[in-house]
Structure 1
Amino acid sequence: MKFVLRLIALVFACASLLGTQAASAQEKSATKEGFELPAQSGKKILVFRPAISVGAQSTGGLFEPNAEWTEQAKTNIRASLDKLQLQLGNAVVTAPEAYGDDARAVEEHMALFAAVSQAVIEYQFFVGNRLPTKKRDNKNDVFEWSLGPGVASLPGASQADYGLFLYNKDQYGSTGRKVLQLVAAMGGVGVKSGEHIGYAGLVDLKTGDLLWLNADGAMGGDVREPEGSEKRVRQLLEDFPGSTIKDDQR
């Protein structure tokens, strides 16, 4: 009984967070005004190693990393990306392995890309949270976001025109979280079990401008499995400028 009461208390503690969760659980894509990338354009795309983290979601909603799941997902997603990048429509090169300061710079820019992507969702895509400047941008069909000129110094950037950044974070609901979800449902409160976030973005390697973004806060495909990972990569790269990739597995 005490356990159930604690769960109910958690339900109402989580209820105040539902508005924020709703903002992330939507899919949107956007392209910078005036940007076009037709197939066989002669431009070169540098693909950075995707940022991937997989774990469990605790009863209270905290992320608990799982090293084994993460390694499985890295292997599967990279294999799917190697397969599907041939359909991107333009020349693709893989970013060189980075070490020391270069590795830290790539990691920092990947984290920056994730933060910018989340900001795009919350403050431009999500109507209720739009910043005043983004309300005007949406009205005028303007998409203006950037990672800054520091991308020009990343390993391999001088050999390509654009950089492709991919970010994935998956939380699978723990047993406690699923029990909480059931108890919450009995009380008429919705609690989400699990979270599957993915962002894919094309960045101008000279200016740092974000040219295209596909951001999804409720992705499909179990990245711990090869088939699920291919579904995930297809979802991330659907509508990529100049590509023939389609998400035909929804």
Structure 2
Amino acid sequence: MANAQEKTGNKPGFTLAPGSVRIILMRPSIKVGEQSTGGLFEPNADWTDQAKQNLGKAIADAQSGLGNLVVPYAEPMGADGALAMEYRALFRAVVGSVIEYQFFSGNRLPTKKRKNSFEWTLGPEIAGLPGLAGADYALFIETEDQYGSTGRKMAQVVGALIPGISMPSGVHKGSAGLIDLKTGDLVWLNADLEMGGDVRTEEGASKRVSQLFEGFPGKTATVVPAVLPTAAAAAAVGN
């Protein structure tokens, strides 16, 4: 990520006192696979399962240090479940726009150049999702990891010998964001296109989650393991 690019944004005036709100953790979107020689993403089911288990445990361990009650979302079935998936996709699209048009100063839109401007939303209708009643905020988490294949790494070496050719190997990005359920507004976002931690390992997943929650509003200084068992943690990130 370029040095000129920010990683965290807050809605002006937004604060979150510890112990003051109830946050619903939406099912995290976790993608893990290989980057082909041509740069295409090829999903790997085994790696993804490992990452879901490791990240689920790491998120559960981190929850008690976030300063407020965080409850995993009970994913509905049928049409409501499909709607929840649409909101995850919408969050992903909004994050992409924030990174492109606000965090990167060179591309910043005129309306985003004003000091303390951070106006992004999923729309107030999100509060109507089943299972969000009584909650104050929804927490979205996304990670994507593409590990460079042997062919991709070889192509990177060859590309380095050709002036003007850039062929990076691997993609490791993630984001975490809070949505105010009263308005649908994005009130806090931490997004990084060059994240650390190999999510296929417990240690790497713990590092990734620590990076995702950097600057989390109301976060306490000390993180202690949560009481959620490993099985419940894995369920929180889906099967």
- Offset at residue 244 of structure 1 (A): 2.5
Q: Does the alignment pair 1:71 with 2:49?
A: yes
1:159 is paired with a residue of what secondary structure? coil
Letter in 2 for 1:160: A
Quick one: distance in 1 between partners of 2:131 and 2:151? 45
Q: Any gaps of 5 or more consecutive residues in structure 1?
A: 1-21
Distance 2:192 2:200 in 1: 18
Q: Deviations over 1:99-118 (max 9, x none)?
A: 11121111111111111011
Q: Are the structure 2 counterparts of residues 62 and 23 from structure 1 closer, same or farther at C-alpha, using a change threshold of 3 Å? A: farther
Matched, 1:40 2:19: yes
Tell me the TM-score normalised to structure 2 length: 0.88
Of 186, 196, 213 in structure 2, the residue corresponding to residue 210 of structure 1 is: 186
- Give CA deviations for 1:91-142 in whole Å, capped at 9, x if unaligned: 121111321112111111111111101110100111221222222xxx3211
The residue that corresponds to 1:196 in the other structure is 172
TM value normalised by structure 1:
0.84
User: Shift of the alpha carbon at 1:27?
Assistant: 5.4
* Structure 1 residues 106-185: aligned runs within 5 Å: 106-135=84-113, 139-185=114-160
What's the CA shift string for 1:159-209, capped at 9, x where partnerless? 210010001111110111100110111224332100011010000112110
**In 1, distance between residues paired with 2:124 and 2:179?**
10
The code of the aligned residue for 1:172 comes to Y
| CA RMSD after TM alignment | 1.9
Aligned match of 1:86: 64
In terms of fraction of residues, the more helix-rich structure is 1
Deviations 1:13-41 (A, max 9, x none): xxxxxxxxx67995510110011101122
Residue deviations 1:34-54, cap 9 Å, x none? 11101122x111111101111
Question: 148-157 or 62-71, which moves further after superposition?
Answer: 148-157
Q: Partner of 2:140: helix, strand, or coil?
A: strand
User: Which entry has the higher C-alpha Rg, 1 or 2?
Assistant: 1
**Aligned residues of 2:4 and 2:104 also touching (Cα < 8 A):** no
Secondary structure class of the residue paired with 1:200: strand
- Does residue 30 in structure 1 map to residue 9 in structure 2? yes
1:50 to 1:24, Cα distance in 2 relative to 1, 3 A = farther
Answer yes or no: is the 8 Å Cα contact 1:234–1:246 preserved in 2.
no
Unpaired runs of 5+ residues, structure 2, are: 224-239
1:67-111: CA deviation from partner (whole Å, max 9, x where unpaired) = 111111111111111110111101121111321112111111111
Provide the aligned length of Structure 1 versus Structure 2: 222
Preserved contact between residue 239 and residue 245 of structure 1 (Cα < 8 Å): no
Q: Name the % identity.
A: 57
Question: Once the 2 structures are TM-superposed, how far is the Cα of residue 225 of structure 1 from its aligned partner?
Answer: 0.8
Corresponding residue to 2:203 among 191, 213, 227: 227
Which structure is richer in relative contact order (CA contacts within 8 A, separation 6 or more)? 2
Instruction: After the TM superposition, list the runs of 4 or more consecutive aligned residues in structure 1 that deviate by more than 4 angstroms.
Output: 22-27
